Amino acid sequence: MTAAEIVFVLLGVVALASGVLVVTTRQIVRAALYLVVSFGAIAACFLVLTAELVAWVQVLIYVGAVVVLLLFGIMLTRAPIGPSSDLDSRNKPAAVTVAVAAAGVLVTVVVSGFGDAYFEVGESRAGSASVIGSGIFRYWVLPFEVLSVLLLAALVGAIVLSRTDIGPPKDGDG
């Protein structure tokens, strides 16, 4: 086991443990904070895999923006601050069954498929901002532009959904 693998396994344990806490905790605000820990550990995993730019984008967008949005949502839906007992639905046993089955199938397939695949993590520059940036603007320009249109549509959609002063269209209005 190399040093990178040991670091990766430790980070993976942190990510998994905080992920389990996200889906089992009884305090909804703590779930969002455990989500920060999980995302941070995954970002560190990206760093170990030499994917620098993805790691920093993960920190900026997930830890910075998405979790803040989720906390805003928790506040605006007047969630209780203390522990609440009604966060889990009745189909918890079925959910456990499905999750364990999914984990079993996926881990079996992955281990039997890629059991001896190996790569060196080291001096690779393939994940740096300059390489990824030139890759995006050389080979992936069209998807990038489509993505910007998608973001604009999502922005407009979120504004339309959350405004209260515009109702359903009147007759002859379109």
Partner 1 sequence: MHVVYPAVLAALLFAIGVYGVLARRNAILVLMSVELMLNAVNLNLVAFDVWLADRLGSGQILGLFVIVIAAAEVGLGLAIVLQVFRNRATIAVDSLDELAEDKQ
**Total chain residues near partner 1 (CB under 8 A):** 88
Task: Identify residues 89-128 at the interface with partner 1 (CB under 8 A).
Answer: 89-92, 94-96, 98-100, 102-103, 106-107, 110-111, 114-121, 124, 126-127
Which residues make Cβ contacts (< 8 Å) with residue 124, sequence separation at least 6?
Answer: 50
**Candidate residues 123, 162, 166, 171; the one interacting with partner 1 per rule CB under 8 A:** 162
- The nearest distance, CB 168 to partner 1, in angstroms, is 13
Under the binding rule (CB under 8 A), the answer on residue 58 touching partner 1 is yes
- The nearest distance, CB 82 to partner 1, in angstroms, is 15
Task: Identify residues 14-53 at the interface with partner 1 (CB under 8 A).
Answer: 15-16, 19-20, 22-23, 28, 31-32, 35, 38-39, 42, 45-46, 48-51, 53
**Candidate residues 125, 130, 164, 166; the one interacting with partner 1 per rule CB under 8 A:** 164
**Which of residues 166 and 172 has its CB atom nearest to partner 1 in the complex?**
166
Distance CA(159)–CA(153), nearest Å, equals 10
- The nearest distance, CB 81 to partner 1, in angstroms, is 14
Under the binding rule (CB under 8 A), the answer on residue 150 touching partner 1 is yes
Distances (CA, A) of 21 to 16, 28, 59, 72, 173: 9, 11, 20, 20, 49
137 C-beta neighbours (distance < 10 Å), count: 10
- Picking from 25, 22, 23, 18, the residue whose alpha carbon sits closest to that of residue 82 is 25
- The nearest distance, CB 154 to partner 1, in angstroms, is 4
Under the binding rule (CB under 8 A), the answer on residue 129 touching partner 1 is no
- The nearest distance, CB 157 to partner 1, in angstroms, is 6
- Picking from 123, 140, 158, 136, the residue whose alpha carbon sits closest to that of residue 57 is 136
Distance CA(99)–CA(91), nearest Å, equals 12
- Picking from 93, 68, 102, the residue whose alpha carbon sits closest to that of residue 59 is 68
